Chain A
Amino acid sequence: MNGQFLDFERPVIELERKIKDMKDFAKDKNVEISREIEALEETLKKLQKDVYSNLSPWQRVQLARHPQRPHSLDYINLMTTDFVELHGDRAFADDKAVVGGFAKLDGEPVVIIGQEKGKDTKQKLFRNFGMMHPEGYRKALRLMLLSAKFDKAIIILIDTPGAYPGIGAEERGQAEAIAKNLKEMSRIPVPIIINIVGEGASGGALGIGVGDKIFMLENSWYSVISPEGCASILWRDVSKSPQAAEALKLTAPHLLEIGVIDKIIPEPLGGAHRDYLKQAQILKEEILFALKELKGLSKEQLLEKRIEKFRKMGQFIEEI
């Protein structure tokens, strides 16, 4: 990877550049090469299909971390209007790894909360790479309770490499903050829609991940541990991460199959980073559709169904 595209994207990107160069050349020199260009575009389509229709779990992990992948703030800007960001947990600090506030989704007020990784180095440091501290989980919970108080639905965007493992995080109760969110989110009496848009690493993701609908973008991942963490523990070798990604079954199709998520949100060909606007529109439509469905439920039904959803999760054998 060169910071702009992934190794397996290279042939596609190179061919796209070549086509663009030819088009520019034809225009500049006013020569007729449209047949050649058309042929190349056909080749490109075929190549794209070859590359993107058979992605390995590890390739999807890489797409989820793509340097140009849209992050939570991109979705907030493209899906909503009149966003007012609200800061702080009213106890210790404002965690920059998570943003949240009120916004209008198709004119309707909602609370939207997302983990934000940042794009360039400066932003990434400012956002702590999307790794939340306890005050982040507490800020998110504060906003969710505010949302419930005024009967507004909650939209959550998950994109984190994990909760931050540091001294301050332990001193301020990372475990307690996450546990409390799990407990409270199960009984917040407004619709909660969870969207995993990039990385969903372990407790750091689940800590804002309890809701009525759980959606997952096609090239995102969600797992009990990152492939690197798993590889270094089980194989004592980080270079085994691709195998770990395979073994952990962390991609959307598998999670749909075992009932952990409700729906896979398709991405534009090549991944979300190839067309921000289209991706945001696709996601927004799914969210609006789900909100409409959830509004038909009474608060009791909503909470009953939410608890049932998580109550059922797990696979075991009951010997007689």
Chain B
Amino acid sequence: MEWFRKVKEGLISQKKKEIPDGLWTKCEGCGEIIYMKELEKDFWVCKSCGFHFKLKSRDYINILLDKGNLEEYDKNLTSADPLKFKDSKRYPDRVKNSKKKTGLSDAVITGIGKINRMEVSFGVMDFGFIGGSMGSVVGEKVARAIERSAERKIPLVIVSCSGGARMQEGILSLMQMAKTSALLARLSDLRIPYISVLTNPTTAGVMASYASLGDVIIAEPKALLGFAGPRVIQQTIGQKLPEGFQSSEFFLEHGFLDVIAERKDLKRIISLMLEYLS
């Protein structure tokens, strides 16, 4: 549920300059001014410090799938409002705004694509859509992606980026964790490979379900990964968190990651693992 708390308050003004139309941008990691065309060529990774800029789901499709080509499924699934939820905004308005802002129908895109000519059932989450949170639509689309993988006997690849379960759909969001995990148990019984890719950030309900259940788990460097949000932990224990806590490197150190892969190597490593697991 961490997605609502903005972690990097000091960076908001820089963020405005981020991707849209400017020719130059400033690296969030080291402050270096970078030529946008150059940055794009480098997979949105800063050459001087290795900082991985946050990507949209479409960008991952371009980076990982052959010719950036995804045959999208279930685009027509959209949120209901089971709780008639309202905080500062009505939930349906929040969804509508996110749709307008991102051009997406919810926080995950799913479909069939190819990674170095190997057909895969593919899913990629988008943090721009209500913090990449998982409600019924995300759960259902991921569930169907798992089922497509089982039916066609093709590997499953999911790129996660999420603050967790979507509060505005209450308990039904929580149940998506059980739903997707149960289907992954079935997929695993069929001995079909599942590669989970973790990007910044992947936490809470998504981390505690399908993101953690890959046969192989790969993360981008320096992503925030964990169960509870850092602020909640800090409040609970009343002391400062150690440097690098809940990063990809921390996850690897403690045995919960197979590989940390820089963005430029991501496709090659996924592709190799698919070859080994087939």
Contacts and interface: CB of A to CB of B under 8 A. Distances in A.
Contacts of B179: 310-311, 313-314
Contact of A170 (B85, B185, B189, B245): B245
A210 B165 contact: no
Contacts of A209: 178
A317 B177 CA distance: 19
Interface in A181-237: 182-184, 186-187, 202-203, 206-207, 209-210, 222-225, 229-230, 233-235
Given A224-B171, A307-B182, A319-B78, A165 B236 contact: yes
Given A179-B181, A224-B171, A258-B172, A166 B213 contact: no
Interface in B116-161: 136-137, 139-140, 143
A72 interface: no
Interface string A222-266: 111100011001110000000000011110000100101000000
Contact of B167 (A172, A176, A230): A230
B245 A210 contact: no
A315 interface: yes
B177 A203 contact: yes
Interface in A135-183: 163-167, 169-176, 178-180, 182-183
Nearest to A229: B1
B277 interface: no
A318 interface: yes
B233 A225 contact: no
A165 B172 contact: no
A175 B175 contact: no
Contacts of B255: 173
B176 A314 contact: yes
A177 B242 CA distance: 22
Contacts of B241: 167
Nearest to A246: B83
B104 interface: no
B76 A318 contact: yes
Interface residues of A, number: 55
B85 A255 contact: no
A260 B175 contact: yes
Given A206-B174, A313-B179, A316-B77, A165 B232 contact: yes
Contact of B76 (A165, A247, A310, A319): A319
A166 B236 contact: yes
A39 interface: no
Contacts of A165: 227-229, 232-233, 236
B5 interface: yes
Contacts of B272: none
B197 to A, nearest CB: 15
Interface stretch (B51-59, B203-211, B260-268): B203-211
A316 B87 contact: no
Contact of B170 (A235, A248, A306, A319): A248
A318 B77 contact: yes
A31 interface: no
A176 B207 CA distance: 8
Contacts of B136: 314-316
A206 B178 contact: yes
Given A167-B245, A175-B207, A314 B140 contact: yes
Nearest to A222: B171
A209 B208 CA distance: 14
Nearest to A320: B76
B186 interface: yes
A210 B227 contact: no
B88 interface: yes
A310 B146 CA distance: 14
B175 A314 contact: yes
Contact of A174 (B167, B228, B236): B228
B276 interface: no
B185 A203 contact: no
B167 A179 contact: no
Nearest to B85: A247
Given A247-B87, A250-B170, A173 B80 contact: no
A310 B178 contact: yes
Nearest to A311: B179
B256 A173 contact: yes
A225 B229 CA distance: 13
Kindly name the residue among A179, A225, A310, A317 whose own CB sees the greatest number of chain B CB atoms within 10 A. Answer: A179
B232 to A, nearest CB: 5
A206 B177 contact: yes
A183 B185 contact: yes
B74 to A, nearest CB: 8
**8 A-B pairs with least C-beta separation:** A165-B228, A186-B182, A314-B136, A182-B181, A179-B212, A174-B227, A175-B207, A313-B175
22 contacts: A165-B227, A167-B242, A167-B245, A173-B254, A175-B208, A184-B185, A187-B185, A203-B205, A206-B178, A210-B181, A224-B169, A224-B171, A247-B85, A248-B171, A250-B170, A250-B171, A258-B172, A306-B182, A311-B143, A311-B182, A316-B136, A316-B140
